[in-house]
């Protein structure tokens, strides 16, 4: 295996076009799966020093650079507003201090662990994910991005550069999980958004092959009995479905309290 | 197999050169390449925190980082904490408050505590426990470790005031 450190994004994209090349950012997901020999890259394209980080807020959207770490999300003042609070809340519960210092938003979304937290938040907030290749750039919605366990719409020579969140003024958001006590991964995690027009969205993670939105015009929790949920030795199907209801309702309540300013 | 190469690292304020392959983990470069065996390998799966070092002042798990990723950054290990045979205030607090039994997890505990106390000079117990979540102790339980970090915080604040 080779390691290269491109000094520009264009060089990185060129490097990623090589067969079995992998982008290395913080390495908190990639290195563990490499140690298990699940992934065996021929070249690691180390994008860790590229200028792909940062929290950029404009009037109607938030843009997060792919290299933004969990630690940066947790402490970003821009994410204190109720509409985006789910992002900081979710980031603060990921892994541990050391992992949050290194782990990045883009790396985690590309890895797409079915029990990772942030996919639920990008789904509920209706984010767009910006993908760049040497041949050009495209944008896919969070819903189109997650395809299955560790499987996404990201092409082999593509890199996530940014995640873009629409700003719905006056809305509230939250992320709540019941986590596995040892690993910290979600046994059931729910991200909720409540909007001033009465609309509400809930996305779940840790439930199956991938995080997903609960489809419903009225109360998203009503869609739970029909949701495809898997069971394992930590949480059988019916228990996990029960947990999903609990975290979904708690997330909706907290998002509403934030919207109305009645939290804390 | 790609050839090993010389990697220049800044460790504990000193420029050091070490031979690594692209796949070499930072913890192995520190221990096997540079003889800095105060950084321990516990689980090798990014859980136990025994391998914690500081990268530009921030705690990271050196078993989940390639040595080549540390190029150009300042790495601090437990060997960089004592000055002229005088223990660092966090080390002293661990001795005085029985923050260790076997000592295996202690370097990692101290380095994570250092990151915490840089950001939060006066943390409450819940904040300390949350910061130490990625550091496992299998001897003591955690109460005396939390006591040690709290005492270290006080010592560091008083040291700055003095």
pLDDT tier at A262, thresholds 50, 70, 90: confident
Q: What is the total residue count of chain A?
A: 264
A234 by Cβ neighbours in 10 Å (0-12 / 13-18 / 19+) ranks as middle
Mean pLDDT to the nearest integer, B124-129: 98
pLDDT tier at B2, thresholds 50, 70, 90: low
CA distance B45 to chain A (A): 7
Over residues A141-190, the pLDDT tens digits come to 999 999 999 999 999 999 999 999 999 999 999 999 999 988 889 999 99
In B, minimum Cα distance to A35 occurs at B45
- Chain B residues contacting A via beta carbons under 8 Å: 2, 22-23, 44-46, 49, 52, 55, 58-61, 64-66, 68-69, 71-72, 112, 115-116, 130-135
Given a cut of 70, is residue A264 above it in pLDDT? no
Question: In B, which residues are within 8 Å of A5 by CB distance?
Answer: 68, 71
Over residues B33-88, the pLDDT tens digits come to 999 999 999 999 999 999 999 999 999 999 999 999 999 999 999 999 999 889 99
Instruction: Return the exposure string of A207-232: e unless at least 16 CB atoms fall within 10 Å of the residue's CB, then b.
Output: bbebbbbbeeeeebbebbeeeebeee
Integer Cα distance of B132 and B129 in angstroms: 5
More confident residue, B140 or A21: A21
Over residues A2-53, the pLDDT tens digits come to 999 999 999 999 999 999 999 999 999 999 999 999 999 999 999 999 999 9
Using alpha carbons, list the distances in angstroms from residue B50 to A1, A75, A211, B11, B41: 27, 26, 32, 18, 6
Average pLDDT, rounded, for chain A = 96
């Amino acid at each position: 295996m080779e390691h290269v450190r491109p000094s520009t994004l264009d060089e990185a994209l060129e490097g990623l076009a090589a067969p079995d090349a992998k982008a290395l950012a913080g390495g908190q997901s990639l290195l563990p799966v490499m140690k298990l020999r699940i992934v065996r890259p021929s070249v690691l394209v180390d994008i860790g020093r590229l200028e792909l980080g940062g929290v950029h807020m404009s009037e109607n959207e938030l843009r997060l650079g792919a290299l933004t770490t969990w630690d940066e999300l947790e402490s970003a003042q821009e994410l204190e507003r109720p509409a985006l609070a789910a992002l900081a809340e979710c980031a603060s519960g990921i892994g541990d201090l050391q992992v949050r210092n290194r782990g990045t938003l883009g790396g985690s979304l590309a890895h797409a662990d079915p029990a990772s937290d942030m996919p639920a938040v990008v789904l509920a907030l209706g984010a767009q994910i910006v993908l760049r290749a040497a041949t050009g750039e495209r944008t896919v919605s969070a819903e189109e991005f997650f395809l299955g366990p560790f499987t996404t719409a990201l092409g082999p020579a593509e890199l996530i550069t940014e995640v873009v969140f629409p700003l719905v003024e006056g809305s509230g958001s939250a992320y709540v999980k019941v986590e596995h006590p040892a690993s910290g991964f979600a046994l059931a995690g729910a991200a909720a958004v409540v909007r001033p027009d009465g609309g509400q969205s809930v996305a779940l993670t840790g439930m199956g092959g991938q995080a997903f939105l609960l489809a419903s015009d009225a109360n998203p929790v009503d869609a739970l009995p029909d949701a495809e949920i898997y069971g394992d030795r930590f949480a059988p199907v019916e228990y996990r479905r029960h947990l999903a209801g609990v975290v979904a309702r708690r997330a909706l309540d907290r998002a509403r309290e934030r919207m109305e300013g009645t939290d804390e | 197999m790609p050839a090993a190469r010389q990697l220049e690292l800044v460790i504990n304020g000193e420029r050091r050169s070490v031979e690594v392959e692209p796949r070499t983990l930072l913890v192995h470069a520190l221990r096997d390449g540079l003889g800095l065996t105060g950084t321990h390998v516990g689980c090798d799966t990014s859980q136990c925190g025994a391998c914690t070092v500081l990268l530009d002042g921030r705690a990271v798990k050196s078993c989940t980082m390639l040595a080549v990723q540390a190029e150009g950054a300042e790495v601090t290990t437990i060997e960089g904490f004592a000055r002229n045979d005088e223990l660092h205030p966090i080390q002293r607090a661990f001795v005085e408050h029985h923050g260790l039994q076997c000592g295996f997890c202690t370097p990692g505990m101290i380095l994570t505590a250092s990151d915490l106390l840089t950001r939060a000079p006066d943390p409450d117990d819940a904040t300390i426990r949350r910061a130490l979540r990625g550091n496992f102790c299998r001897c003591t339980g955690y109460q005396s470790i939390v006591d040690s970090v709290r005492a270290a915080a006080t010592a560091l604040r008083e040291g700055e005031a003095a």
